[in-house]
Amino acid sequence: MTGWQLVRSGRRVRIVPMERLRGDQPYVSMLAVGLCGTDVQIGAGHRGDVAGVLGHEGVGILHGVPGGDRMVVFNPVDVRDQDSILGHSFDGLFRSWVPLGPELPLSTLQEVQPLDPMAVLTLCEPLGTVLYSWELIERSAPAGPLSVGIWGAGPIGLLHVRRAIDQGHDVELVEARPERLAWVEDHSRLAPVHLSVTGHRTPRPLDVAIVCAPRLAMASAVREAADALRPDGTMVLVTALDAAAAAPTFVDATVGRVRRHNVCGNVDPELGMVTAVSHEGKPLVLTGHRGTSLAQLHAAESALRADPGGYGALITHELSPEDAVDVINRRLDGQFRTADGSEIVKVVVRFPDGGRHG
């Protein structure tokens, strides 16, 4: 039986037929895989990751293990080595069949129950990372309603908006593209939220700033977020902050390394949450993390199950592998619109026959 894989080739992906795996190695038949902002950055050549097949946000059917077939999602970051990441350092999920092996052991899979629409389960991983960020925020910010600014209206930023609203916080979403803000405004499930264009926000002191801007926009987003925070406010780095991007804002340009101390659900109360001082002398609590835990994936599944329609509204394009190629390549080219002009927020690739491959 023949399936499909989306293979990197230059700064594009192309579709290539794939034969079903042979032998008795356990494997996952993919059902649906979401395209993440980091996939776009890798595919566009903005990062050095070597995986030939992208994708780490997926749901599929696990075959070939004792106890029978079951539906699973993936925990992409290896708790033993945070630089070993599914779809970054080794081949990821945009393919019909994914073998388990030394880099992808059984312990990285979390069983989930079927959900309608099934594609919503691809949000388990990104939502799991959002819940991780909020565990860090709850350790560093005062209890009660907070004023929260979120930089970047990609899928992760929008999941953060949803989480913050659900917790009763006052939310401002800051985004560079007015077209994206218009899309958010049309999706009333994400209201009420204050919408601001980067560089034009109304000054309003924030308790918490969550920065999920793309890498190339990190320096300016972090600068603006630091200006907006009150002294001792909390900044969460969702995207990596390298020294060059930190230097215009912080006295110590290495503060972005804080993310490496909180891995796969663990929290280092000392090194994973640091005081970072801005050039103006304002102290801020800086934190961040990498990956997620199986428990956070499970908590994310419960949240999705409580409102699949609301979360599913983030998925703007659910496509076959053939149809996904053009939309993914548009994103790799830096575009946010399909040929028919629709805004690309979250792309999910559906693999034909999914669990029935086996």
Task: Give the nearest distance from C-beta 2 to Zn ion in angstroms.
Answer: 28
Position closest to Zn ion via CB: 36
CB 150 within 8 A of CB 172: yes
**The token pair that represents 113 in the structure block:** 């129950």
> How many angstroms separate the CA atoms of 77 and 84, rounded?
6
317 - beta bridge partners? 347
Of 96 and 239, the one with the shorter C-beta distance to Zn ion is 239
Of 110 and 249, the one with the shorter C-beta distance to Zn ion is 110
Task: Give the nearest distance from C-beta 350 to Zn ion in angstroms.
Answer: 18
What are the E-state strand segments in 199-282? 206-211, 229-237, 273-277
Task: Give the nearest distance from C-beta 36 to Zn ion in angstroms.
Answer: 3
Of 276 and 324, the one with the shorter C-beta distance to Zn ion is 324
CB 37 within 8 A of CB 55: no
Give the distance from CA 18 to its chain's centroid.
Answer: 27
Task: Give the nearest distance from C-beta 289 to Zn ion in angstroms.
Answer: 13
Of 128 and 149, the one with the shorter C-beta distance to Zn ion is 128
Of 36 and 345, the one with the shorter C-beta distance to Zn ion is 36
Of 36 and 229, the one with the shorter C-beta distance to Zn ion is 36
Q: Where are the alpha helices (H) located in the chain, listed in sequence order?
A: 37-43, 124-140, 155-166, 178-186, 218-228, 243-246, 294-306, 308-312, 321-332
Binding site residues, Zn ion, CB under 5 A:
36
Rg (CA), the chain: 20
Task: Give the nearest distance from C-beta 163 to Zn ion in angstroms.
Answer: 16
Burial track 44-72 (b if 16+ CB lie within 10 A, e otherwise): bebeebebebbbbbbbbbbbeeeeeeebb
Task: Give the nearest distance from C-beta 13 to Zn ion in angstroms.
Answer: 16
